[in-house]
Amino acid sequence: MTQAVEVNFDGLVGPTHNYGGLSVGNVASMASGGGVSNPKAAALQGLQKMRALMNLGIPQGILPPHERPFVPALRAMGFTGSDNEVVAAGGKRAPVLLRNTSSASAMWTANAATISPSSDTEDGRVHFTPANLAAMYHRSIEHPFTARVLKTIFADEAHFTHHGAIPTGGAMGDEGAANHGRLCSEHGAPGLELFVYGRSAFEQLDRWRFLPRQALEASQAIAKAHGVTDSTVFIRQSQKAVEAGAFHNDVVGVTNGTTLLYHEDAYEEKEVAFDAIRRKAEGMGFEPHFLEVSASDVPLEDAIRSYLFNSQLVSLPQGGMALILPGEAEATSSTRAWVANAVAGNGPITEAHYFDLNQSMKNGGGPACLRLRVVLTEAEKAAIGPGVLLDEEKVTALEAWVTRHYRDRLEADDLGDPYLLDEVRAALDELTSLVGLGSIYDFQR
Ligand code: SUG
């Protein structure tokens, strides 16, 4: 078996982080809509988490913010004139559209793509499919730039294969790694890929409070394209969890190594899927560890409020696993108690670390939403653009960059401010040299 490491690529929070109230079914986003955000604090909170992961010995990368407000999307909706005029007119005539085209939502890189490591795929390459994010307009405009970024970073065709996003239409949604997990004996060993879906794209769902975003057919297509079908299990999100606000499965479940940590109410017909997992894992030489959290220990509402399951479950270099949790999971008594017990017990979780990610949490994005996991062998890691891999010096430089460029207060009415567009572009222009990505943004081309 080739040795491999898991690199977390966190989304660097963009300068237009705001509370647009854009995501129906995401209870935090719906509740925060119209509030005042602090983009500077949001970006610094994210960087603090990245630094802490690095200090735990876990390799860390970043993916850049997307350019927002996104002028090409406004032009596609009929706005004309100079870029500044387009944004100002958007603010006056179509403020909701401007909010949608200004969201910093690409920060939640768990939704950027689905990735299969080379140890899982038939052709021995790492496969990438950017998520179409079709369920929400503001997110559906992310995938062309996401694809460009991933192709720029993972450019070496000897190691990396890029697929197009799943074609959209109707309910053919794909939300990327947020609905995808992997079970394995260790990162570099062949893994079982767990695709969690919410519905069939061709199924009518009547009277659901909130609709699921991930289509089974999209997940199946990705498994086929990546060449992982033999080592794949599909499992359905429960209606109960979706309707309680689990718009992505990573709000109620997370995998790492042999462990699946999940809420009792996360899945439909879980025993059928768990049997399939046991059988396939046996063929791969490991025994899966199903770590269920009962509704009596942690009610579903607490799970969704606290984002216990949106923690990052990570393997530590010295052995054991750490949970990287949001402060909200410490403030919620049921989840705090569950975590304390888990760490004190003999299970896989040996450490827990809480972080203040409140700016992102208020839009429904916890620690796990903020990162895209990429398992890479040493040769694959050596083949990527090094500028996006972090060390202490780079984190410090990025913190200084945020402090120099970001506002500490932003609300909906500010988005039409033409000075904001200029500020954002000056910041992103500088960032591309800082992380060695070249002229990657549309406004630079
Ligand atoms: O898609 N929120 C994101 C949160 C994504 C969380 N990701 C994972 N669970 N992996 C979403 O709903 C809110 C934006 C706003 O309302 O301004 C938003 O897009």
How remote is the CA of residue 312 from the centroid of ligand 1, in Å? Answer: 17
**Percentage of residues in the chain having pLDDT higher than 70:** 100
Ligand 1 pocket check for 363: Cβ under 6 Å: yes
pLDDT in tens, 154-195: 999 999 999 999 999 999 999 999 999 999 999 999 999 999
**Percentage of residues in the chain having pLDDT higher than 90:** 98
- The pTM for the full model equals 0.98
Which segments of 219-346 are extended strands (E)? 232-236, 253-256, 259-263, 289-293, 312-315, 321-326
How remote is the CA of residue 134 from the centroid of ligand 1, in Å? Answer: 13
Question: What is the average per-residue pLDDT within 291-299?
Answer: 98
Report pLDDT for 362: 98
Contact by Cβ (8 Å): 131, 114: yes
In 3D, which of 263, 267, 325, 389 has the Cα closest to residue 7? 389
What distance in Å separates the CA atoms of residue 30 and residue 9, rounded to the nearest whole number? 27
Can you tell me which atom of ligand 1 is nearest the CA of 111?
A: 10
With cut-offs at 50, 70 and 90, classify the pLDDT of residue 2.
confident
Is residue 59 over pLDDT 90?
yes
Ligand 1 pocket check for 369: Cβ under 6 Å: yes
How remote is the CA of residue 26 from the centroid of ligand 1, in Å? Answer: 7
How remote is the CA of residue 109 from the centroid of ligand 1, in Å? Answer: 10
pLDDT in tens, 95-139: 999 999 999 999 999 999 999 999 999 999 999 999 999 999 999
Active site (catalytic) residues: 175, 248, 369
Is residue 20 over pLDDT 90?
yes
Is residue 408 over pLDDT 90?
yes
Is residue 93 over pLDDT 90?
yes
- Residues facing residue 63 across a β-bridge: 11
Question: What is the average per-residue pLDDT within 268-280?
Answer: 98
Question: What is the average per-residue pLDDT within 396-404?
Answer: 98
Report pLDDT for 51: 98
Ligand 1 pocket check for 249: Cβ under 6 Å: no
Report pLDDT for 1: 79
CATH topology (fold) of 4-68+103-410: L-arginine/glycine Amidinotransferase; Chain A (3.75.10)
What distance in Å separates the CA atoms of residue 64 and residue 370, rounded to the nearest whole number? 12
Ligand 1 pocket check for 177: Cβ under 6 Å: no
Spans of all domains in the chain: 4-68+103-410
pLDDT in tens, 63-88: 999 999 999 999 999 999 999 999 99
With cut-offs at 50, 70 and 90, classify the pLDDT of residue 386.
confident
Ligand 1 pocket check for 251: Cβ under 6 Å: yes
With cut-offs at 50, 70 and 90, classify the pLDDT of residue 385.
confident
The bridge status of strand 4-11 relative to strand 349-355 is unpaired
Question: What is the average per-residue pLDDT within 354-380?
Answer: 98
